[in-house]
């Protein structure tokens, strides 16, 4: 069966050769590096995720749990069951020469992964459009979509996950473009190995969701009537690379962990998050309104792009001499968007971050709404206008990240709270953190020497009787429990509903 993704199936538009757009590509990569890298450590780690991940990485770098600590992660000296270790390995490794996982270092894996994602989007766009210029535009839109740019500057697992998934997707399309297509993929074992290694690394970042591209590939091939080709990219030995790493890690961690770790790490955090929503419970329609907000400003053009894309999935008309995707390429893009969107909509737990891996596909779809999707002859002038818009958006976002967001430090940074708590936690008195799990990692990262997590009133009473240490709690909890436990406010932080109280009982 003739495959429109394969080289030689249709002529490339003029100006789409390997040298075309080199200067523009270089400018895009330079701008991306500035957008994701300038002022990376200017703000403290902001709760909830950043300081927690920073604390895990720092605890790993300190090597205080020995070799076993490289496998079984710890937070506040307790086994951490929520996430696999790859991001934390990278952050700890980068921080080792400096003696600490500083803020910029903790964010560096995300920034590098964001840069790699932009570059991989150019490669994937060239494979799908058979032209470099629309691929560069799509990569620029990805880099400047707000949620992606913001996440690439944070201690965030999802950008690293996106980069590895893009590597797998690019290799899948590369194999389909080789002589013989996917059906002859076993002639290229190195590419198959790379594809599965990317999936294995993705799973080591966030667990089984890293294998979601396999479902995208299967649905796409079924749509094309080529499902049998899936076997060619999934020989038995390749699963050692995609499934083996996370299986080896979880087995090793269970052997080192106390009893109950397997239930918490596998059952609660895998099945519990998906089916019952142990965290971030949202309605099934959550992404219908959240995704357009996260993909701003380019989501303004996304509806038209999706309409054009859907038409292309049903049209057999030739696209020779144009920069529009072939029907096969359009079907792949549509599947890439649709499968994860439905998958995560069915999940009880939802966050906007979960859909970051489809942002490159959204960017490629968005450009179909503009003149760039027309004939190659119109590309020159059409390319400059959206290119200038991308540049303007990138400059505005850089100004926002470097100059505006640091002004919110008083409300967002946990450092002042941790320093105040540390000053009251001397002489071995641990800090009690009452029903504030999101701040526990931040307290450790910014200097609290010892911490006890308190989840109910009985644990609070025991802490005050046994340790006599200070307690950090929400203002509404202090107003309810302060007089009952004879607590006195030593210091307050933040304002309104986010107001926190650092309290102590008299000796």
| pLDDT tops 50 at residue 382 | no
Name residue 432's beta-bridge partners: 452, 471
Instruction: Count the helices and strands in the chain (H runs, E runs).
Output: 22, 7
Q: Where are the alpha helices (DSSP H) in 47-188?
A: 49-62, 86-95, 103-129, 132-144, 146-151, 157-177
Only one residue has tokens 């210029």, namely 133
Residue with tokens 């002529």: 11
Max mean pLDDT range (10-14, 70-74, 168-172, 411-415):
168-172
pLDDT digit string (tens) for 166-194? 999 999 999 999 989 999 999 999 999 99
Q: Give the chain's length.
A: 507
What class has domain 414-504? alpha beta
DSSP 8-state secondary structure symbol assigned to residue 500? E
Phi-psi region of 385 (alpha: psi -120 to 50; beta: other; left: phi over 0): alpha
Q: What integer best gives the mean pLDDT of the chain?
A: 88
Q: Which of 144, 128, 24, 167 is nearest to 361 (CA)?
A: 128
Number of Cβ within 10 Å of residue 63's Cβ equals 12
Q: What is the per-residue pLDDT across 76-110, written as a single tens digit (0 to 9) for each? A: 888 988 899 999 999 999 999 999 999 999 999 99
Average pLDDT of span 203-230: 96
Rounded to two decimals, what is the model's pTM? Answer: 0.91
pLDDT given at position 411:
75
**In angstroms, rounded to a whole number, what is the distance separating the alpha carbons of residues 399 and 393?**
10
Binned at pLDDT 50, 70 and 90, residue 279 comes out as low
Residue 345: Cβ within 10 Å count: 17
Q: Among 144-148, 174-178, 404-408, name the one with the lowest average pLDDT.
A: 404-408
Give the burial class of 9: count Cβ atoms within 10 A of its Cβ; 0-12 exposed, 13-18 middle, 19 or more buried.
middle
Ramachandran angles phi, psi of 52, nearest 5° = -65, -50
- The pLDDT value recorded for residue 11 is 47
Start-end of CATH 3.40.190 domains in the chain: 414-504
């Amino acid at each position: 069966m003739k495959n429109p993704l394969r080289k030689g199936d249709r002529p490339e538009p003029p100006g789409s050769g390997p040298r075309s757009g080199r200067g523009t590509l270089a400018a895009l990569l330079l701008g991306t590096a500035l957008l994701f890298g300038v002022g990376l450590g200017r703000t403290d780690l902001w709760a909830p995720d950043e300081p927690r991940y920073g604390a895990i990485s720092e605890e790993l770098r300190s090597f205080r749990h020995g070799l076993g600590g490289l496998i079984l992660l710890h937070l506040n000296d307790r086994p951490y069951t929520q996430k696999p270790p790859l991001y934390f390995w990278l952050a700890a490794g980068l921080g080792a020469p400096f003696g600490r996982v500083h803020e910029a270092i903790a964010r560096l894996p995300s920034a590098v992964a964001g840069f790699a994602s932009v570059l991989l989007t150019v490669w994937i766009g060239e494979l799908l459009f058979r032209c470099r210029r629309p691929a560069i535009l799509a990569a620029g839109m990805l880099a400047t979509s707000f949620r992606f740019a913001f996440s690439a500057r944070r201690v965030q697992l999802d950008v690293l996950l996106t980069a590895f998934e893009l590597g797998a997707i690019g290799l899948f399309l590369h194999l389909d473009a080789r002589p013989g297509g996917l059906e002859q993929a076993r002639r290229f074992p190195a590419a198959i190995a790379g594809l599965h290694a990317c999936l294995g690394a993705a799973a080591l970042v966030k667990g089984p969701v890293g294998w979601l591209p396999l479902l995208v590939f299967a649905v796409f091939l079924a749509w094309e009537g080529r499902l049998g080709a899936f076997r060619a990219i999934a020989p038995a030995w390749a699963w050692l690379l995609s499934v083996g790493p996370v299986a080896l890690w979880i087995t090793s961690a269970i052997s080192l962990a106390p009893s109950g770790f397997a239930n918490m790490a596998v059952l609660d955090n895998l099945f519990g998050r998906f089916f019952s929503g142990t965290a971030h419970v949202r309605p099934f329609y959550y992404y219908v309104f959240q995704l357009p907000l996260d993909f701003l400003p380019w989501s303004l053009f996304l509806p038209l792009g999706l309409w054009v894309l859907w038409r292309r999935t049903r049209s057999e008309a030739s696209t020779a001499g144009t920069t529009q995707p072939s029907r096969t390429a359009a079907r792949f893009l549509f599947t890439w968007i649709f499968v994860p969107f439905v998958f995560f909509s069915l999940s009880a737990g939802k966050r906007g971050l979960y859909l970051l891996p489809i942002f490159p596909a959204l960017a490629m779809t968005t450009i179909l709404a503009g003149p760039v999707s027309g004939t190659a002859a119109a590309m020159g002038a059409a390319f400059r206008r959206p290119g200038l818009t991308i540049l303007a958006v990138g400059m505005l976002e850089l100004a926002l990240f470097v100059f505006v967001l640091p002004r919110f430090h008083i409300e967002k940074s946990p450092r002042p709270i941790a320093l105040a708590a540390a000053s009251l936690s001397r002489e071995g008195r641990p800090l009690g953190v009452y029903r504030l799990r999101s701040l526990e990692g931040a307290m450790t990262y910014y200097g609290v020497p010892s911490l006890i997590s308190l989840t109910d009133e009985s644990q609070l009473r025991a802490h005050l009787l046994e340790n006599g240490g200070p307690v950090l709690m929400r203002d509404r909890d202090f107003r309810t429990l302060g007089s009952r436990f004879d607590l006195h406010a030593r210091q307050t932080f933040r304002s309104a509903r986010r107001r926190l109280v650092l309290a102590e009982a008299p000796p």
